[in-house]
Amino acid sequence: MSDPLSPPRRVVTGHDAHGRSVIEADGPPPRVHTVPERPGYAVSNLWRTGQAPDDVARGDDIAAHAGVLPPEGGTVLRIIDFPPEPEDPGERARMLAATFRNIYPDTPHDASTGAHQGMHRTLTVDYAIVLRGEIVAVMDAGETVLRTGDVLIQRGTNHAWANRSGEVCRMCFVLIAGRQGA
C-alpha cells in the first residue's frame, strides 16, 4: 500500500477592520476524520455554507460538521484520500462498514446490492474532482475509471468509490444540498 498523503492546505480570505482583503487562515484543515479500521482513509472538511446565497462574511464553523450531508440549502467542501481497497471482499466490507458507522452515520449504505460494498446514496448534487491518482466510480449498472483532472457530477444516484490502483487517490468534493424532483 502507498504512503498516506499530507493533509491539504486550507487558505481562507476575509477583510480586516479597514475593509482590505486579507488571509485569515492558512494551514491544515481544522479537523481531519480518520477510521482506525481503514488505514490511510482521511476526510478533510474544509468549508461549509448554511444556505444559498450565504453571507460571505459568515465565520468558519466546519470543525463542527458531522456526517456526509451539507446543511439544508447549503454546501460542504471536503477532500478525501482513498487508500487502495483490499482485494478480499470480507476485509473491504469490514472497512467500509466502519467508515459509514464512524464518519457517515447520516448516510444509509447498502452493502447487499452486489455492485460494491460501499454503495450509498445522498440527496445531493456532488462535484467530484480527482486531484491525484485514479478511482472507479461504481453505479448500480456499470462503472468508469476516473483519473487526475477528471470530474464526475453525481446527482443523487446510488454509487460507491473503488480505488483499485495500488496508490492513494485524492479527491475534492463539493456537496450541494438537493431535493427530490416531482
Cis-peptide into 84, omega within 30 deg: no
Dump pLDDT digits (tens) for 13-69: 999 999 999 999 999 999 999 999 999 999 999 999 998 889 999 988 999 999 999
8 Å CB contact between 80 and 42: yes
pLDDT tens readout for residues 8-20: 999 999 999 999 9
C-alpha closest to that of 70 among 52, 44, 49, 98: 49
Distance CA 46, CA 29 (A): 6
- The answer to whether 34 and 42 have CB atoms below 8 angstroms apart is yes
Domains and CATH numbers, the chain: 15-177 (2.60.120.10)
Q: pTM for this one?
A: 0.94
Q: 135 with 163: CB under 8 angstroms? A: yes
